[in-house]
Amino acid sequence: MADHDLEQARATIAVPDHVPSPFGELRFFDGVPTDDSIATIYDMLDLNRAIEVYLNTIPGASLVAMRRGFRSVGVDGNTVLGFTAPRANSGSFFLTPNTETTYGSMFLDLRDGPLVVENPPNSLCVVDDFWFRYVADLGIAGPDRGAGGRYVLLPPGFDGPEPEGYVALRTPTITNWLIVRALGGVDDIRTTRVYPLAAADDPPAMTYVDMASRHFNTVHANDGTFFEEIDTLVQEEPPEALDPERTGQCASIGIVHGRPFAPDARMRRILEQGARLAAAACRALTYAPRDPAAYLYPGSNWLAVFPSGSYEFLRDHARLLDARAQFHYAATVITPAMAAAQVGAGSAYCYTAKDAAGAWLDGARHYRLHLPAGIPAKNFWSVDVYDTQTRSLLETDDPFPSVMSLDEAVTVNGDGGADVWFGPTAPEGREANWVQTVPGKSWFTILRLYGPLEPWFDGSWQPGEIEPISSGTHEAS
């Protein structure tokens, strides 16, 4: 190699004596950092790790917070199932629940061995593990095909024979989350049974708790206490329940299985800053993602929930980290049936926090959403409104801030389309198709199609953009 080539190589592999950074100038003596720069570099590295841990472990923190919220209203243990009757409302903080269906939910603890789950017939049920990864569908989308079934959930490391007479489900975590939607409503949900396999001959009685009338929080933290939520999970679960990369990220900021999480004052300050910065990033990812595939179609402000069509957030053998954070910051439940609905079955979703001009939706203004003729929903459609801060149902005079086609009062246009109105006051004569908003607050909305039809999948039907209108009028301005 010629001398000038060596000199050029030296320039590319060397570090200058002064390196500017957002944390202040970093200084070096012939490639060796000065003592004060070493401290700054480690502050920078720890802050970066804190941000990455937050972004990459939101799924787990979400379920830790949900379990804590459930426990606060008495939904705790393997024989207690909570439900929402008649359906979810804005009285509690839940990530984007719908107001159209009744749900049952509980956490399953496998610490004492396998658990049997008997799901209702004609139901849609999902089991996710404690890191919010898909374990199995039960019911219509599961092996029992809607007839109702008997499943046995086997704990991590279970090496015995699979019990006969059950569909065996294996999970990498001790705690798991069960969500039940029975098409027959509350009465069917209350037929769900969970009991230890060891007590199959004489199962203990179930307790069913109506959570809809309670007021509690199930949303994870956006400050430094987020990392305490993650530590709770890491301490409870086997280390191998999480991939080595994320386990290593957690360990780098002091969250290690079997060890106390005891950050000093310096580290607590960094963790607080990291959580705040990561939460800020999640706000951008959720409401204004930069992946073009996240948008329903070119020029639209409607956003897809699974931009790659994968419930594992995969595209071309790569994990879409932004898409995973985007989803879990605003939503719950992971199942392939959500990411890849089939024609006439399951449900399809899109959401937006912007109007047709790309401005943030303002609770003091009035808007109209036009759903063109031929709304591609075999069963029904709905539009729900949410608080951009809590990502929960918007708190208004109506505990069910939504419009849905199942409501007989909702007006359908002559061509079969529909208009939905938003604003602090109802447009005269349009009250049944109106959702109240709150001045001084932003909001976002989710359009859900239950039993989506071919025009949704081929893109020949598209929802209109949300158009600002003049107060008291019915026409777009």
d(CA 180, CA 199): 22
**pLDDT-wise least confident of 118-132, 179-193, 413-427:** 179-193
Q: Is the model's pLDDT at 373 over the cut of 50?
A: yes
Q: Give me Rg for the CA atoms of the chain.
A: 25
**What pLDDT is recorded for position 184?**
81
Q: Distances in Å between the alpha carbon of 226 and those of 232, 253, 285, 304, 352?
A: 10, 13, 18, 27, 26
Count of all residues that appear for the chain in the document: 477
**What pLDDT is recorded for position 476?**
41
Q: Is the model's pLDDT at 254 over the cut of 80?
A: yes
Question: Tens digit of pLDDT for each residue in 256-291?
Answer: 999 999 999 999 999 999 999 999 999 999 999 999
**pLDDT-wise least confident of 86-90, 194-198, 448-452:** 86-90
d(CA 124, CA 137): 8
Q: Distances in Å between the alpha carbon of 322 and those of 56, 294, 313, 408?
A: 9, 10, 9, 40
Going by pLDDT thresholds of 50, 70 and 90, the confidence category of residue 59 is: very high
**pLDDT-wise least confident of 183-187, 192-196, 250-254, 435-439:** 183-187
d(CA 124, CA 128): 13
Question: Tens digit of pLDDT for each residue in 307-328?
Answer: 999 999 999 999 999 999 999 9
Predicted model pTM:
0.94
Buried b (16+ CB within 10 A) or exposed e, 375-403: bbbebbbbbbbbbbebbbbbbbebebbbb
Give the whole-number percent of the chain exceeding pLDDT 70.
98
- For the residues 65-82, what does the mean pLDDT come to? 97
Tell me 242's DSSP state. S
Neighbours of 228 (CB within 10 A): 15
Q: 3-state DSSP call for residue 199?
A: helix
- For the residues 370-382, what does the mean pLDDT come to? 96
**What pLDDT is recorded for position 343?**
87
**What pLDDT is recorded for position 473?**
53
**What pLDDT is recorded for position 477?**
35
d(CA 370, CA 356): 11
8 A C-beta contact, residue 23 and residue 42:
no
- For the residues 227-246, what does the mean pLDDT come to? 97
- For the residues 26-40, what does the mean pLDDT come to? 96
- For the residues 242-265, what does the mean pLDDT come to? 98
d(CA 209, CA 213): 10
**What pLDDT is recorded for position 4?**
74
Q: Retrieve residue 378's tokens.
A: 């075999």
| Alpha-carbon torsion (367, 373, 378, 379), positive or negative | positive
Q: In the predicted model, what is the mean pLDDT of the chain?
A: 95
Interacting residues of 39 by C-beta distance below 8 A, sequence separation 6+: none
Q: Dihedral of the CA atoms 455, 456, 462, 464 (nearest 10)?
A: 120
**pLDDT-wise least confident of 93-97, 181-185, 473-477:** 473-477
Cα 470-472-473 angle, rounded to 5 deg: 60
d(CA 71, CA 198): 25
Going by pLDDT thresholds of 50, 70 and 90, the confidence category of residue 472 is: low
